[in-house]
Every structure is written in structure tokens, then in C-alpha cells.
Amino acid sequence: MRALGALALLLPPAVRAGVFSLSQLAWSLSNQNGSLVVAGALPSQTHLDLKRAGIITEPLLGVNDFTQRWITLDNWTYTADVSPFLEAAAAARDPAQKTLLVFYGIDTIANITLAGHPVAWVNNQFQQYVFDVSDALAKPLGRNTNLTIALESAYWYGLNVTSRPDAETFPINEDFEYPTIRNYIRKIQSDFGWDWGPAFVPSGVHKPAYFITLSANASPRADESDAAELAAAGSSAPETDNLNTAAPAALSPSPLLISESSIDIYKQGYADRSGVPPVQTAPWIVNISLGVHSAVDAPKPSLTVSIPELQLTSHPLALEPIPALAPPGAGSALSAPTWVHATWSVPDALPERWFPSNLGAPKLYNVSLSLSLGGAHAPLALQTRVGFRTIQLVQTRYPDAEVAARGITPGDQWHFEVNGRAFYALGTNIIPFDPFYARTTDAQVRWVLESAVQSGQNMLRVWGGGIYQPSTTSTALTPNFPPHATDTYSFYDACDELGILAWSEFIFSDDLYALNDWLIDSVRTEARQNVRRVNRHASNAQWAGGNEIEGIVTQVNESAVNGQHYLNEYVTLFQDILHDVAYEETNSVAYTDCSTTHGVLSLDPLVIRFNNGTPGEIYGNSERYDYDASAAFDYSTFPVSRFINEFGFHSMPSFYSWEEVLEAPTDFDIDGLVVMSRDHHPPAGSLAWPNPNAPQGQEQMKAAVALWLPTPGTADANQTFAQWAWSTQVFQAMTMASQINFYRRGAGQGAHNLGALVWQLNDIWQGVSWSAIEYSGRWKVLNYVLASIFQPVVANPFWTAASEALELVVTSDRWAPVQGRAQWTWYDWAGNALGTQRKDFAVPALNNSVLLAQTGLAGILPAGKNASEVWLLFNATAQVDGKTVVNENYFTPASLADAALVDPKIKLTHTGPGLTFRLSAQGGVAPWTWLDHPASTVGVFVDSARGAPLNAFYLVPGIDRTVTFQLNAGLSTNKNPSPADFVVRSLWNNTHV
């Protein structure tokens, strides 16, 4: 007995827990012909392991997205000897134990064998898999103790599938780089290229994987000390590219695995699919479903639910019987869970509501689940965190009485209501955080989400061409049992905590999808697993069927000879199948067929409107992309819509981001080969390299800068390149601000617009994109401008050049009327004030107040001045939610390209404490004054007095600005930046050294 005890102490903690992380095995990675064999890792992807082995350099460096294509064109195999696990399992001396092989994600096409036995062939990146491998391990073939994951090239797989005689062909293919295949593969669609990112087409086991042993003789209980140890468990992967992969420690063996769970919280009597709003005073229904793989029969299990903070505990809730695992069927080791369900009613008044952070507090509650199997088995304890809120996407027709009373343009509604109240959705769109999912970290994602909240956003759209974003890395918050990490980074859990809504989408984007039995079955499983998982997150706002496909199929229906066939396939998948799966798994959030939609004719049953509508009425939502810079500030080109779910303009990353990837001094050239190769807009549509269409995208940016800003050109080549990069960001911010202000004003006009989501928030690499935040986490000009124009009360000048009309408008998105005081001052570019006016204002809820309306430029301008000599500073101050909100905006009656700028002679003084700086204009006005933090640092500049983000402002002589740089030490490799390395620039530097 003493010897056995000593052996147990020597076993890895994960083994003693009955959860053995596959990251603890010694993996090798080999290509198809065996000419390359290197050390591998899990979770990981082939490029990452080849980089660790020194075979390739960083994939994002230089032109590696082209030179490393050979990796995509090969098949790769991960192999590990599982003897360490077998020895640990044997030490338990439990003949009744079962072994499950659990993968939380495989990218993508893989043949899995264990101990010489075939386990499965898989081909869906978005599914999790549980296999019963007890028999394979008990009877290895020829002393084979290897686990092998043979990955087929997604490119070759796609070519094979599309070359089949029964493969469907399409009248259009929305190709970016790898042509005609991505819509046949259940994989991140942007892996094959997009107009803002590379096409590495990675492969690997990109999420955690485990052996989990179950025992009919086990009787565990997870107590608080277990949870604390589990939450602190670190990575045992060979490098830090793999985060939170270790199995949990110090937990007794388990009689069962809970591989999936769903906690759906909604109001009693509510059915989202009906379109009828929830009764806000009704009790809360907590609907819990658990997917169980059990080693024992439990004929009368029960579940007890408690919320300690509310001192609320349910009585034992009866569950369906749980049978013991049956032997896997012939030819398949797949272990399907047994689903058990329970509902619990919570009085409405007990929990505080969860709100987006700009509308209230994102209140969350810890929930304890105690699963009793009966008999001699002690209850199993699970922990998670939930919020109580209602979120409804309102799509019904505006009543005639409301149309008449409020001046709303007739048609359908399209907006969100949280806890029964309509609100203005301010936000951006999320794309994948890295081309290689396995190296995405909590810190990286957390910073992007915190940056969104700091810039005033309350909603993020999870774009349907990327990945189903994960829930959490925390074993203490994942309602799985035994506790173990299921992902490499947290997303929804962070959104819950930070108070930002996440609009979710199924992964279909910008293409038509062929329907066959395999696809339908695979997608049903994929959709169910992800809807269940996301249900518990208060931040989830809706499920959309995919990205932009409704518009594509509508055009095909009208233009193709057999267009009706493709429309019918679209209806089958997006109106019928995904709709039904979503509502079978959730009752708390809406389903819509597409990100951009013309709305519905009926909600229950769902009937998509397509082009069926009355001229002059408004339906659904909209998007806008116009790369003609002359229309950037022309309101007549902006859509009049209830909700704008994406709109954007591209820009370059900063000089600092280019330094991360450009390898030669001559590469720092806006027209250089490497820079041009990293502009994928418009996309190549093929594997042609460099992108033959890049000059068009580059010219759009350059033309915009030349039209609206001084054209960069100095004697210093690096400065000129830096000013080009920065100036494209300035224009991007200017045109986005113009649109956002127009859409927000629409809340009080006939459009009754209640949403503006900018394309896009984050970057996937250092290249030309539509992002507000660069790949490293550095804020672009756009994110600082969003922090200003997404404030709850904003002062906006509206200039209509065609009619020479100027309006000064204050807009509020508050639920209550807002009062305040506005001021506007004309200045010349030397900084002389030419006249000031002040006016008190009162803005109704979700509405506007027009403070000034003038026409005729000659009468608007200060006497004796022409348009190029002056500009207007417009600001508003109001008390909002007990805080003082100060917002400012600028109006230049002529393009800044024609403005008579004066050398601002900016003085940057480090005043301390820490990284605090005072900026003073010693000469003229410095439009778009910009402070850059040094290379290898991540952080944000804030107003030292108010704490709000502050950068990209007009610096006026006599009106100094004091800002503090708040360093994110976790993401910064330079953790002690010198104040001397901070750089200030303005438009003056476009043409002056």
C-alpha cells in the first residue's frame, strides 16, 4: 500500500484527476514523405511548430504569406507515444474504468488512430469530439502505443471534393486567394484569404485535448479548494504559444464526463421566435441542460442549483435517467452524450439586471450546480457565472399610430432592446485575432475588448467568416466536469464581465453553400454545440445565419438561369435548418438569416422578405462601402436605415507596426513591393502574388489623403512613409466619424436608426485593413475618434456642401432627457479666436437638438475670411449619469488639403508623474495632433484630468492638453519606455521635417 501511495504521488496531477492533457505528451510533427520531422505540441498548428523548430521564420514576417505556401500544400501528421498515460492509468488498477479521448477542436481534416486502431476521420473545425477509446487502448495492435493525428491539406481536400462529379457548381465564387473551395470546408473561411488578411490555411489541433478516465467506482466531489487549484493551473505545453492547456490538479476521479452544457435564462412564457416581447415582471426561467458520458447507471439523478449571493437554492430538480456508456458502435468510437434537463424559476426582483456597461452595470452571479447520481456516489459540484437580462431583436412593423406620432418612415423595426428598453448599439466588428488560433492569448483578446469598452462601445459583431469565439479558459467558470480548460483564450466570459454585447454568427460568409446530407448533418451538430455553449453568456445578443449571403443569393436569383435553385438552397439552410436548430437550443436570443438582411415577412414561421417590399418603406438593416473619397462626407450617399451593421474604409498600420514585419530599409515605401503585397483589397481572387489588385486599394487610400489632407512628402523618406501611414488613418477616422454622426442623428429622424457598427475593430496581421486597433494592440486614430463620437452626448457639425448648409447638433443616446451647455468658436489657423457663441440645450431621450442652422457659406464664415483660413471648434458639456461629459468636434469649411496651416511648433513636455505629458502649440493650430508611444509598447493615452482616452485632437495655442500614457505591461515587451521616445506629429509634418 505504501508503494502504491508513493507511485500515486509521483503521477502528474492531471493523471490523478482522471484528466490527462495531451499537451503532456511528447509530440512529433512530420510531413507526408517524412523528409521533415520536428517536435510538435498540442494545442498548436503546423506553422507554429515549424517556427519553434527553426524550419521557418515568423509567418507574419515580410512576404512569408507567399513563401510559406508550401506548408499548406503538404499533409502533416502529429504523433505521440501515449505510454505515460497508459502507465498512469494502469496504476489506478481499476478494471471498470473507461477512457474517453476528447478534442475541443481540430483544424480541420484529420484521420485519428490510436494504438493501431482507427478512431475517426473528422472534417469540421467547429465541432468538439468525444471518442470512447477504451477498447483500442486495451488491445493495442503490435505493441503500438501511438496516438496519430494525420492532417490532410485543406487545399487538396477542397480540390478533391470540388472535382467530384456530383459536386455542385455556382454561377459566382467569392474568392480571395485559394479559389472555389472554402465553401465546401467547415473551417475558418478567412483562412483561405480575405481582403484584410493573409491566407495561411493552417492545420493542427488548435484547442485543448485530453484523455479522460471514468470509473464506476469513483465518488468525487469538487470543493472550493479544488476550484482554486484548477483556476491556477498553468500550461504544460512546451512554449508560451500554448496557453492554459494543462489539465486540472488535485481532483478525485470521476464517474462521468460533462462535455457540454447549456444554461439559457429567459422570462417565463417568453418565446423569442414569436416576436412578442418578454413580460419584464415575469419570473426568470433558468433552463439547464448537461451532456453526460457516464461510467455508471444513474436511474434517478437530480440537480440542485444555488446562487450564493442571493442566498437562493433550488430543491433537488429531477433529471432524466443517465445510462452507463454503451460500447461504441461498429466502425465508430464516437461517444454521444446523454442529455439531461432541468428548469428553475427565480423571482424577477431578486437578481439585479445585467446591462451593457454604457447603460448600467454588467452584474454577474456565481452559480453552483450540484449533480446527484444517487446511491453511494457523492454529488458532483460545478461552478459557472451568469447574468440576468432580456435581449430582443425587434423586427415587427412599426404601428401606424407610432409612425404618425413620431414621424418615423413606415416599414419594419430593426433594433435591439435590453431589459425591455430600446437602445443605440454603438460598436464594431470582430475578426479572428490571429491567423493561428492556437497562439491567441487571453491578454491579447482582453486588451482588444477593454479597448472597445474604453472607446464607448456596447456591441461587437462576431463576423461570420471567422471563428465561433470561445467562452473562457477558466476551469473555475467552465460548467464541464471534471473541470478542465476547453479553450486557449476567453471571449464571451470577458464580454460578460466588461459589459459588451456580442452579436454572434454561424460561420458562413460571402458565398453560396452546396447542400448535401453530409453538410447538413455536420452543420446541425456544429450549430447545436456552439449555441448550447454560448447560451450561458449574458453578453450574447443574437445568432445570425451568416455574413452578407442574403444579398448575394438575391442577386443570383435575379441574374442566373437557375437562380431559383440557389435561392431555394439558401432558404433551406438559413431560413429553415439553422433557424430551427437555434430555437431548439435557445429561447433567450433571436435568430436572423443573415448579418445584412432586408428583414422578414413573418417571424413565426420565419419567412425572409428578400425583395418583397413597398417602395419608400424601410426594412431590415444595411451596410456601406464607398471607396470614392469625394463621397466621404456626402450625406446623400449614406444609407437611410434602421441599423448599419458594417461600414468602413481601409488604412495602413502605423510605422511601428510596419517595423515589426518589414525587413529592409527600402521596404518602407507606400509603393514598395512588400507593403503592396500586404494590401489584399480588392482581393486577388486567385493565388497570383503579389496581389495584382493591390494598386487599386493603395490608390484609394492615397487619393483620399490627397483630396482631404496635405499630401505627405518631405526630405526624410522614413518620415514621409510614417506620415502616409498615419494620414490614411486620419482620413479613415474622419470618414467614419461623418457616417457615425449621421446614423446617430437618425435616431431622432424618420429612419429611427438605432445602431452603427464600424468595420472593423481588430487586426489579424500588420497590413492594410479596416481596423481601429493594430495587430499588436496599438490604437489607430480611429479608436481614439470612436472614444469621442461614441460618448453618450456628442456635439456634431453637419455640413451639406451642395446647399452650403451648416447645422450644429447635439445628439444623446440616453434613456432620459439631457441638459447641458454648448459653445462654438471660429478660429483662424494662427489660433486667433474670431467669435464665440454659447447656448443651453435640452435633448429628448434618444434624440437630437439643433442649436444652429445656417445656409450660405459667405454668411456662415467670419467676416472677411475665406473657407481655407478658418475652422470651427464645437463642444458640449452635460451631466450624464452623475458624471460630466465633455465632447468636442471640428468643422473645416474647406478641405484640410487647402487649409492655410501655420507651423504649430508643438512643444511636448514630460511633466510626470509616470508617463504624463503636456502638449502646447507655440505657433499655429495643429489639426489632428497625435502622440505616438514607442515601439514594443501597448497602452492608451488618456486625459490626465478626466481619465477618458485622448489623442488625435486639434491643439490650439493657449489651450494646452495634458495626457497620461497608461501602459499595458502584460502586452508590452518594453515595460519601461523612456519619455524621450514618445513622438508627436500633426498634419504640419506631412510636408515639413
Provide the annotated active-site residues: 548
Reading the block at residue 723, the C-alpha cell is: 506620415
Which residues lie closer than 8 Å to 258 by C-beta, 6 or more apart? Answer: 290, 291, 292, 293, 371, 382, 479, 480, 481
DSSP state of 336: P
Which residues lie closer than 8 Å to 615 by C-beta, 6 or more apart? Answer: none
β-pair type (459-462, 501-505): parallel
Instruction: Note whether 264 and 287 are within 8 A (CB).
Output: yes
SS3 of 648-708: CCCECCCHHHHHHHCCCHHHCCCCCHHHHHCCCCCCCCCCCCCCCCHHHHHHHHHHHHHHH
Type of residue numbered 206: H
β-pair type (98-103, 110-114): unpaired
In whole angstroms, what is the distance from residue 420 CA to residue 348 CA?
13
Chain centroid to Cα 273, Å, comes to 25
β-pair type (415-418, 421-422): antiparallel
User: 876's torsion region: left (phi>0), alpha (psi -120 to 50) or beta?
Assistant: beta
Which residues lie closer than 8 Å to 946 by C-beta, 6 or more apart? Answer: 884, 886
Radius of gyration, CA atoms only, the chain = 29
Instruction: Note whether 478 and 384 are within 8 A (CB).
Output: yes
SS3 of 869-897: HEEEEEEEEEEECCEEEEEEEEECCCCCC
Q: How many CB atoms are located within 10 Å of the residue 164 CB? A: 9
Instruction: Note whether 432 and 233 are within 8 A (CB).
Output: no
Cα pseudo-dihedral 192, 194, 198, 203, rounded to 10: -30
What's the distance, Cα to Cα, between the start and end of the chain in Å?
A: 80
Q: Which residue has the cell 509530440?
A: 27
313 beta partners: 306
Backbone torsions φ then ψ of 803, nearest 5 degrees: -110, 5
Q: How many CB atoms are located within 10 Å of the residue 474 CB? A: 21
Q: How many CB atoms are located within 10 Å of the residue 432 CB? A: 22
In whole angstroms, what is the distance from residue 59 CA to residue 199 CA?
11
Q: DSSP strand E in 139-255: where? A: 146-151, 209-214
Instruction: Note whether 344 and 350 are within 8 A (CB).
Output: no
In whole angstroms, what is the distance from residue 614 CA to residue 316 CA?
55
SS3 of 232-293: HCCCCCCCCCCCCCCCCCCCCCECEEEEEEEEEEEECCCCHHHCCCCCCCCCEEEEEEEEEE
In whole angstroms, what is the distance from residue 67 CA to residue 612 CA?
49
In whole angstroms, what is the distance from residue 607 CA to residue 571 CA?
9
Reading the block at residue 635, the C-alpha cell is: 450625406
